[in-house]
Chain A
Amino acid sequence: MANRKIGAQTVRFENRPYIIGRGNIGGKKEGEGPIADSFDQILDDDMFEEKSWEKAECKMLEAAMEKAMKRAQLEKENIDIMLCGDLVNQIMTSSFAARDLHIPFLGLYGACSTMTESLAIGSMLVDGGFARSILAGASSHFCTAERQFRMPVEHGNQRPTSAQWTATAAGAVVVSEWPHGITKGMSVVRVCEATIGKVMDAGIRDANQMGAAMAPAAVDTLLNHLQDTKRDIDYYDLVVTGDLGYIGKEIMSDLLADAGLNRKKIFSHYDDCGTMLYSKEQDVHGGGSGCGCSASVFAGKLLKDMEQGKYRRILLMSTGALLSTISPFQGESIPGIAHAVALEVE
C-alpha cells in the first residue's frame, strides 16, 4: 500500500498538492529587515493591541491564517484540517488560535521545524485523499520564547555572539487537492516530495548554540533526501534551511562539503531563512530563529519569488532544536531535527 514511499525517508506525492494560499505577518524588527516588503502585515508594536505577548502571538497566527485563506479564496468552512504549532508551552498559541478559528485542528510540535512538519503532514493528508484543503502554519514571538526559554525581556543580560534572535512572525499556507482560484497562465506551486528527518544529537549543550546543534540534523535530512530522490543539490534552485543562522549555515556548508558535495554548488544553491530575515546591523548576533522564521520567510519571500519565476524548484528544510525548558538544566544535550519539503512551480 505504501506506494508513495521512495527510498529510506522520503514520500513522493502522486497528486502533487497545490499551495493555493499564503499569508504571513511580522513584528516591528522583522519589518525593519531586508525582506520587509514580503510581509502581508507588519506590526508597529509587538503587543498587537493585546494584553499579553501570548495573546499577541495568537492573534498574529490567526491573521496569517486568515490571509492565507483569503488568497486561496476559501472560507474557513472549506478547510478540512488546520495543522500548526509554536514554541509556547503545550503549543498554547496554536490551540488558542484554533479555538477562535473553529477549524478541525491537529496541533504539532517540532520546535522550529514545525513549518515543514505541518506542510509535510498536510500534503500527505491531501495527497492521500483524507482532506481537500488544509491549513499549515507556525508562529513564534520573541517575547514569549525569551521569557520561557531564557530571561525576562527587560533583564539586562548580554547575549553571546552565537545567540539567535527568535522571530516575531507567523506564516501559513493553504494546501489543496485542486488549484482553486488559480486561472490559466498563473503559476502555482506544488508540493512534490517530503523527507521526514531523524532526531540527531551531536552533543551540544549550550542553549545559545542552536545553529550548531541543529546543523547535523539538517545535513542528515538533506543527504537522505538527495539519496532517496537520486538528485544532486543543484536540482534545486534553492535549498533553504529554517533557522541555522550564520554559524549553523557555515557548519552545514562545511559538513555537506565533507560529505562529498561540490563546494561551489553548495555556495550557489544553499541559503538559510535565519540569515535572510534580518540584516547584520540589526544586532541579532547569530541570525533569526523560531518557528515563525522559516514559516514567514517561506509564506512570504520564497513563495512570492517562486510565483514570480525567480525560483522553479525549492527544497524547504525547517530545522528544530528539541530542547525543553528543563532539559539543559538536567545536563541533557540539545537534539536537532529537520524535515524537508520539495516544491516546484507549475
Chain B
Amino acid sequence: MLQISEEQNKEKEKQKKEIGKAYGKYAKQFTPKPKYFSNCVKAFLTGGIICVAALAVQNRLQAAGISEKDAGAFVTMGLVILAQLLTGLGIFDVIAKHAGAGVIVPITGFANSMVAPAIEFKKEGPVLGVGSKLFTVAGPVLVCGISAATVTGIIYWFIEKF
C-alpha cells in the first residue's frame, strides 16, 4: 500500500514538473529576449578599455623604474580603489547596467561585490551587519573558485607525476 502511494507521489511530481516545463516554455514566448549582441559588444569594449588603461598605467610605472611585479600590484590596487569609490558614490551599478561583464569580470567586479553589501548592511552594525554580510556576494565565488582551483591542482599534479 505504502509503495503504491509512493509511486503515485512520484508520478504526481513528474506530472507537476512537466506542467512547469510546458508553462515555462509558454511564458517564454511573452518574454522579450535580451540584446545579446549589443550587450557583448558593450562588455567587450568597456572590459577592453579598462584593461588597456590599466596596462598603460602599469607601463608608465615600469618606465618610472618600478619593478613589473610591484607595478602590477599598484595597478590592481588602483582598480579596486576606483571601483570601491564608484560603488560608494552610487555610480558603479549604473555603469554595470550597460557594461555588464565588462566591469564585473575584471577585479572591479570583485571590489563592487564587497563594498555593495558593506554599505547595505552598515545599519545592522559593524560586526553582525558588515562583518557577517561582507562576503554574501563574493563568498560563494571564492568558495567555488578555490574549490575548482584545488581540484584542478590535484588533476594537474597527477598528470605531472605519471
Say whether chain A's binding surface is mostly helix, strand, loop, or mixed: loop
Interface size class of A (residues with CB under 8 A): 20 to 34
Identity of the chain A residue whose Cβ is nearest the Cβ of B98 in the assembled complex: A158
Q: Does any Cβ of B come within 8 Å of A281's Cβ?
A: no
Q: Does any Cβ of B come within 8 Å of A187's Cβ?
A: no
Q: Does any Cβ of A come within 8 Å of B146's Cβ?
A: no
Cβ–Cβ contact B30 & A161, under 8 A: no
Task: Tell me the bound Cα distance from A203 to B24 in angstroms.
Answer: 7
Identity of the chain B residue whose Cβ is nearest the Cβ of A249 in the assembled complex: B30
Cβ–Cβ contact B96 & A153, under 8 A: no
Task: Tell me the bound Cα distance from A212 to B117 in angstroms.
Answer: 30
Q: Does any Cβ of A come within 8 Å of B71's Cβ?
A: no
Give 1 or 0 for each of B76-109: 1 = CB within 8 Å of chain A CB: 0000000000011010110111001001100001
B contact residues around A151 at 8 Å (CB): 116, 137
Cβ–Cβ contact A154 & B93, under 8 A: yes
Cβ–Cβ contact A153 & B120, under 8 A: yes
Task: Tell me the bound Cα distance from A202 to B23 in angstroms.
Answer: 7
Contact of B96 among A157, A160, A203, A215 (CB under 8 A): A157
Q: Does any Cβ of B come within 8 Å of A156's Cβ?
A: yes
B contact residues around A250 at 8 Å (CB): 30
Q: Does any Cβ of A come within 8 Å of B64's Cβ?
A: no
Instruction: Output the least CB separation between A220 and chain B (Å).
Output: 13
Identity of the chain B residue whose Cβ is nearest the Cβ of A202 in the assembled complex: B23
Identity of the chain A residue whose Cβ is nearest the Cβ of B97 in the assembled complex: A158
Cβ–Cβ contact B96 & A205, under 8 A: no
Task: Tell me the bound Cα distance from A61 to B104 in angstroms.
Answer: 36
Q: Does any Cβ of A come within 8 Å of B10's Cβ?
A: no
Task: Tell me the bound Cα distance from A151 to B117 in angstroms.
Answer: 8
Contact of B27 among A51, A158, A247 (CB under 8 A): A247
Cβ–Cβ contact B27 & A209, under 8 A: yes
Contact of B95 among A147, A153, A156, A215 (CB under 8 A): A156
A contact residues around B87 at 8 Å (CB): 154, 156
Q: Does any Cβ of A come within 8 Å of B65's Cβ?
A: no
Q: Does any Cβ of B come within 8 Å of A34's Cβ?
A: no
Task: Give the contact stretch, choosing among B1-9, B14-22, B51-59, B152-160.
Answer: B14-22
A contact residues around B112 at 8 Å (CB): 154-156
B contact residues around A147 at 8 Å (CB): 120
A155 in contact with B137 given A202-B19, A251-B30 (CB within 8 Å)? yes
Question: Which 3 A-B pairs have CB atoms at the shortest separation, nearest pair first?
Answer: A203-B20, A156-B96, A212-B27
Other contacts beyond A212-B24, A254-B30: 11, CB < 8 A: A51-B123, A147-B120, A152-B117, A152-B121, A154-B88, A154-B112, A155-B116, A156-B112, A157-B104, A204-B23, A251-B30
Could you list some 24 contacts between A and B, CB below 8 A? A51-B123, A147-B120, A152-B117, A152-B119, A153-B93, A153-B116, A154-B90, A155-B137, A156-B112, A157-B96, A158-B97, A158-B100, A159-B97, A161-B32, A161-B33, A203-B21, A203-B23, A204-B27, A205-B24, A209-B24, A212-B27, A215-B27, A247-B27, A247-B30
